[in-house]
Amino acid sequence: MAENRQSYPEGIKWTKQRKDVFHILNNATEPMSAAQIYAQILKNEPDVNYAVSTIYRILAAFEEQGFVEKTTFMGDDTVMYEWNKHEHTHYAVCLNCHKKVPVHVCPLEHFDHHDMMGRGPWAEIAKSDDFVVTAHKLELYGYCKECEKIRK
């Protein structure tokens, strides 16, 4: 998993622990909690003896560098982390199994930040409240294929 030499982002020390967290998040298909990352590391290398606190410290350091992004989803009670691939992605979250399906289509894509600040469809929001919008987060909720079957 971590054998092939790979170029890591610069600017921080690359310890074995950080490489492990990097590899897991970088290959993840959906956001993961610290506990999930830790479990995945143990699964890959059952003999490692990590401190959970190290995972949190690594995630905090990565976040500070802009390498990972932190979010929470309705229904989970823990913070989730994902490697910042600089793709504008939202998620469709299954209300039953909590699976997160990445959605690369954004219905707000035509409303750029400049529009958000006073012109276009956002004018009403921006003007009425004197609020400068710099980003947004959209989550879709519903049921994934498997859970939809069971539900009815």
Partner DNA sequence: ATCCTAAATGCAAATGAGTTGCATTTGCAA
Partner DNA sequence: TTGCAAATGCAACTCATTTGCATTTAGGAT
152 binds, among a copy of itself, DNA, none (CB under 5 to 8 A by kind): none
141 belongs to the binding site for a copy of itself (CB under 8 A) = yes
132 binds, among DNA, a copy of itself, none (CB under 5 to 8 A by kind): a copy of itself
Matching residue, tokens 């143990």: 42
135 belongs to the binding site for a copy of itself (CB under 8 A) = yes
Q: Of these, 71, 84, 89, 118, which contacts a copy of itself (CB under 8 A)?
A: 71
Judge residue 144's burial from the number of C-beta atoms within 10 Å of its C-beta, 0-12 exposed, 13-18 middle, 19 or more buried. Answer: middle
Interface residues toward DNA, by CB under 7 A: 12-18, 33-35, 49-54, 56-58, 60-61, 77-79
Q: Of these, 16, 57, 70, 119, which contacts a copy of itself (CB under 8 A)?
A: 70
What are the angstrom distances between the C-alpha of 89 and each of 73, 97, 106, 140, 148?
Answer: 14, 20, 8, 12, 23
Shortest Å, Cβ 44 to DNA: 14
The C-alpha atoms of residue 135 and residue 51 are separated, in whole angstroms, by: 34
The separation between the first and the last C-alpha atoms of the chain, rounded to the nearest angstrom, is 40
Shortest Å, Cβ 71 to DNA: 11
The C-alpha atoms of residue 36 and residue 48 are separated, in whole angstroms, by: 15
94 binds, among DNA, a copy of itself, none (CB under 5 to 8 A by kind): a copy of itself
Question: Which of these segments, 17-25, 34-42, 51-59, 136-144, binds a copy of itself (CB under 8 A)?
Answer: 136-144
Which phi-psi region, left, alpha or beta, contains residue 82 (left: φ > 0; alpha: ψ -120 to 50)? Answer: beta
